[in-house]
Chain A
Amino acid sequence: MVFLFILLTILTFTNTIFQQTVFNEKNELDETAFLVANSLIYSQGEPANWHTLNGVNGISNIGIAATRNVIAEEKLEKFVDLNQNYYEETKDLLGASKYGLKVSILRMQNNQSIAEFGLEPMETSGVSTANRFAYYNGEEVIARIKVFKQ
């Protein structure tokens, strides 16, 4: 009887801790995707002319907006360029250092990709996606942010 009870207790706690861990991870992924999206499409970055700097030195925050929800072409180009040599550093600046990151700017009309940053997640599970809506070069776009465990 006592053994059964101890077994039940251990099983219940293990299950609870496992569920809590899975939930915390999902929650953190969701929050990170949300914050990356806000940083990108709401802010101009810090300094505002970060896109004119070499590499990532001197950049304290990355944003690709000219104004709220309006994406600046030159900032987007620089952001995509950073993918080549500064993927990790850029993720750090966006607050996603612990995770993998994929940012896609898609035409709303046909879902065609305009620009991409980052790596595609290897698996479909454990991915948090935030779809946000913006304006780029006179057309409506979707900024799709995927954050995932690496």
Chain B
Amino acid sequence: MKGIVISMDALIALLVLIVILTLTNGYLNGIQEAENRSLLLKEQASDIATVLEKNGFLEEAVKTGQVNDIRSYLNRLPNSICAETIAFEAVDQNIVFSAVKPSCTQSSGEASSINRSFIMNDTQTNFYYARVTTWIRDSQ
């Protein structure tokens, strides 16, 4: 009788161990997958900032206050990707403009942001930075 109890005890302990190992494994896999996704979103945000800077859209939007070109660019991104661009004055942090991809609302899920500084030369040199945030569109 004592032997059976000990065996049962050992079996239950092993079972618990297996359950814990399986759950831990699943959890760690989930973390790794989320990390990869987050890394790609960050690089995509960086791509968007670079392209907007190189095609002059950031500068234009600061000069005119019009964000149509930026919004139109964001709208051409692949359907699954949402993005928002906000520009700030570097010194006092005032928002200069903000544009979000049409039909996108801020996700409840993960989002990645990068800040990119840029310079405007008009009558004097002014420093700004653009914050680009990307996230995956919530499935409808």
Binding site for B on A (CB under 8 A): 1-2, 5, 8-9, 12-13, 15-16, 19-20, 23, 26-27, 30-31, 34, 37-38, 41, 68-70, 108-109, 130-135, 140, 142
| Contact, CB under 8 Å: B76 / A140 | yes
Question: What is the predominant secondary structure among interface residues of chain B facing chain A?
Answer: helix
B40 within 8 A of A: yes
* Cα(A16)–Cα(B47), bound, Å: 37
Count B-side interface residues using an 8 Å CB cutoff. Answer: 28
| Contact, CB under 8 Å: B18 / A135 | no
B25 within 8 A of A: yes
**Known contacts A1-B11, A133-B47; 9 further A-B pairs (Cβ under 8 A):** A2-B11, A13-B18, A19-B29, A20-B29, A37-B43, A68-B50, A108-B76, A130-B40, A131-B78
Q: How far is the CB of A141 from chain B (nearest CB, A)?
A: 9
Smallest CB-CB separation from B48: which chain A residue? A133
User: Quick one: given A38-B43, A109-B76, are A131 and B54 in contact (CB under 8 Å)?
Assistant: no
Smallest CB-CB separation from B75: which chain A residue? A108
Residues of B within 8 A of A23 (CB): 29, 32-33
Residues of B within 8 A of A8 (CB): 15
* Cα(A37)–Cα(B42), bound, Å: 13
Q: Give 10 closest A-B pairs by Cβ, nearest first.
A: A133-B47, A69-B50, A108-B76, A30-B36, A23-B29, A131-B78, A5-B11, A135-B54, A12-B18, A135-B51
Question: What is the predominant secondary structure among interface residues of chain A facing chain B?
Answer: helix
5 interchain pairs, CB-CB under 8 A: A16-B25, A69-B54, A108-B76, A131-B78, A132-B44
B119 within 8 A of A: no
Of A13, A34, A70, the contact of B43 (CB 8 Å cutoff): A34
* Cα(A108)–Cα(B48), bound, Å: 12
B127 within 8 A of A: no
Q: How far is the CB of B48 from chain A (nearest CB, A)?
A: 6
Q: How far is the CB of A12 from chain B (nearest CB, A)?
A: 5
| Contact, CB under 8 Å: A132 / B43 | yes
Smallest CB-CB separation from A38: which chain B residue? B43
